[in-house]
A and B are shown apart, each in its own frame.
Chain A
Amino acid sequence: MNDTNTDVIQGTLDMLILKTLSLGPLHGFGIARRVEQVSQRVFKVNPGSLLTALQRLERAGWLDSEWRQTENSRRAKFYALTRTGKKQLEAEKADWNRRASAIARLLKAEG
């Protein structure tokens, strides 16, 4: 194990989940895998945080959940983005872009 930091950046887990689900419904494990794959293993999702976050987002009305059969005929809880969830994702993306570019500018200026 190397000591590269793979923690999801504080406060971005919600956005990552919403983004991942914007591509289609997934269950918890699927979301974790997808985040890891797409980020090319830069981020590793902690299962406890993920499942708690899913419950919270569902409560907030951004996700819907449903128990369904998976492709290998197991029951799994699938999450899907709701309309308000889509709006929330857009808002978080805009916010993130604004902040990320600001940080990028700052780093550039220093360099």
Chain B
Amino acid sequence: MRLIVDGKPTEINADPEMPLLWALRDIAGKTGPKFGCGIAMCGACTVHVGGSPVRSCSLPLGQVDGEVLTIEGLAREGKLHPVQQAWLEEQVAQCGYCQAGQIMSAVALLDQVADPTDEDIDAAMSGNLCRCGTYPKIRTAIKKAAALKTAGI
């Protein structure tokens, strides 16, 4: 089937039952989204489909009904997305494995709520597990990203 992935038409010949995550990773070569649990419990595989965050490990390819955006398509023309920029400035990542999912969830949050409260952050980000304990920096970086985005940076 034909998908738009990170803005590019991409032909994927696979069983429609195959989760989007494995189609992206094994077939389309998009390794940015990560495999963590396979049951939508950790959020490492988070991508956007049609602008909404989804757990790609649990979404069959046949049910993908919009453009797919992964972490690899977030920076535009060499410029980091404000969320990535904030992550970089706050030095958020440790092992980094969960961070593609964290960033995609944070991008979706800021698309919905320009200036999120702590409660908004908790609600939007609680599905994204981090075993290194980067949560305090994630919280700071989301607030910084909100400011960067509002300022049009």
Genuine A/B complex: no
A residues within 8 Å of B by Cβ? none
